[in-house]
Structure 1
Amino acid sequence: MQLRAQLNTLQPHSKSTPDIHIMRESSYDLKNSTSPVDQTALVSVINFAKIVKQIGRPSSILSSVQPRTVSSRCSGLLHRAFSVFLFNTENKLLLQQRSDAKITFPGCFTNTCCSHPLNNPGELEENDAIGVRKGAQRRLKAEIGIPLEEVPPEEIQYLTRLYYKAQSDDIWEEHEIDYILFMKNVTLNPDPNEIKSYCYASKEEVKELLRKAATGEIKLTPWFKIITETFLFKWWDNLHNLNVFIDHEKIHRM
């Protein structure tokens, strides 16, 4: 069910209806394709993430979507990820509904952008998580079409890290140390192969999505649900002073 259908049925006291954008249908489905060409493309386009130790430092490398059917030893290996929360001038949060072609959690509602840093020197740089922030810059451009110059890595605010594990289906799962990143005020041009629909939403609208998820009307990505139920609204209330929440030492276990 698309974001329009959900946000058009929000609580009566919502003051405004968000501008909701429905993307054209995705042009591919690598997840279910049996074509050798598509399977090769799947391997080539998947972001390679760094597996990490419990303290969040890189140790070795593998594909971020290694399926259990390929090697049970690779199932659920811990790796780095990032979750971006982007707000506009009205302090509304940019939400997206993941494309049905996504390998993990297709069609789920989630925060602005979620992905993994690549295995390259730029995105492996650990000082102040600059490598992770470079990865976020890359994915914000790829998924949402944000011009690179509008999201310089040094202006992406890194707050803290979360640890979680979640099963997507019988094959795919996420097991991540998730870097939480914040941004404001950018130009959007989303890719329909990544995003099914998107909109800026108020706190009350996000709370309504949580209520709908609790009753099974919609599905949220597990990381977005965890973050929203624990930290998001506290951060949201303090967008003017996020520095008080910066904690680069602790990894919050969820």
Structure 2
Amino acid sequence: MVVEEIVLLNADDEAVGTAPKHASHHTDTPYHLAFSCYVVDTEGRVLITQRALGKRTFPGVWTGSCCGHPGPGEGLRDAVLRRLRDELGLPGADLTSVLPRFQYRAVAGDGTVENERCPVVRATVPAHGAVHPNPEEVERAEWWTWERCLELTERPEASPWYRLQLAELAPLGAPRDWPDAGRHDLPPALSW
């Protein structure tokens, strides 16, 4: 069994080491590299997921399409495509950096902390493409209108990072219109 590692960061978002992912998420989780992805189809719908009930951190919350941790030396593009394939069975997508500076800290009900520099990416896919969620990662996956996505921010079952991300994404307009924020504001520890 391969142990997934996360990339630890300093206050300047530079890589300072690695640690096992599972053992690193606790009440004093170190600051580390992650990403969030919103899958948007060519009709403008957004794939919203409910995290699997067996997940160690934030089980059962509703959130964006997928999230994950780039491995040591792995670029953002490769990490996102890997998680889209592993979590949702999506073979590929057109990726755009939309919130390269996003970071957050959140505490779950059991005291587990997420503490991440978490660039946000949009993945554009054709409408009516098949999604095959991995049940170990995703309880449910549904295509939602942007209006319904915005309404989720007012509900307690939304993940904390989803609420924070939507506060920054909503002013950018509809998901298909989100501008490419480029790559210059990605953390120094992360290549495209």
Q: CA deviation at 1:249?
A: 2.8
Note the C-alpha offset of 1:247. Answer: 6.5
2:104 maps to 1:164: yes
2:137 to 170, 180, 194: 194
- Residue of structure 2 in register with 1:175 after alignment: 115
* 1:68 CA drift (Å): 7.5
User: Given that residues 161 and 179 in structure 1 are in contact (C-alpha distance below 8 angstroms), is that contact kept between their aligned partners in structure 2?
Assistant: yes
Structure 2-normalised TM-score? 0.84
| Aligned match of 1:138 | 82
From the two aligned structures, give the one with the greater strand fraction: 2
Q: Is the 8 Å Cα contact of residues 68 and 171 (structure 1) preserved in structure 2?
A: no
Map of 2:184 onto structure 1: 248
Counterpart-to-counterpart distance in 2, 1:236 and 1:144: 25
Q: Which residue of 1 aligns with 2:47?
A: 94
Higher helix share: 1
Query: Comparing both chains, which one has the higher relative contact order based on Cα–Cα distances under 8 Å and sequence gaps of 6 or more?
Result: 2
Task: Give the conservation status (yes or no) of the 8 Å contact 1:52–1:59.
Answer: yes
For the aligned residue pairs, the C-alpha RMSD in angstroms reads: 2.4
State, as a whole percentage, how many aligned pairs show the same letter.
25
1:249 is paired with a residue whose SS is: coil
Residues 15-70 of structure 1, C-alpha deviations (whole Å, 9 max, x = no match): xxxxxxxxxxxxxxxxxxxxxxxxxx6xx45x31101122222111112343577x
Runs of 4+ residues deviating >4 angstroms? none
Question: Please, what TM-score do these two structures have when normalized by structure 1?
Answer: 0.65
Pair 208,171 (structure 1): closer, same or farther in 2 beyond 3 Å = closer
Relative to structure 1, is the Cα distance of residues 170 and 67 closer, same or farther in structure 2, using a 3 angstrom cutoff?
A: farther
Give the match's secondary structure for 2:16: strand
CA-CA distance at 1:171 after TM superposition: 5.1
Q: Is the 8 A contact 1:65 1:173 kept in 2?
A: no
Question: What is the number of equivalent residue pairs in this alignment?
Answer: 183
1:138–1:177 distance in 2 versus 1, CA, 3 Å: same
Distance 2:8 2:105 in 1: 13
Equivalent residues in 2 for 1:46-195 (5 A)?
A: 47-66=4-23, 75-119=28-72, 121=73, 123=74, 131-147=75-91, 150-151=92-93, 155-159=94-98, 160-170=100-110, 172-186=112-126, 187=129, 188-195=131-138
Report the 3-state secondary structure (helix = DSSP H, G, I; strand = E; otherwise coil) of the residue aligned with 2:57: coil
Whole-angstrom distance in 1 between the partners of 2:39 and 2:137: 17
Where does 1:228-247 land on structure 2 (aligned, <5 Å)? 228=166, 230-237=167-174, 239-240=176-177, 242-243=179-180, 245-246=181-182
Does structure 2 conserve the Cα–Cα contact (< 8 Å) formed by 1:161 and 1:248? Answer: no
Gaps of 5+ in 1: 1-40, 124-130
Give 3-state SS (helix, strand or coil) of 2:102's partner.
strand
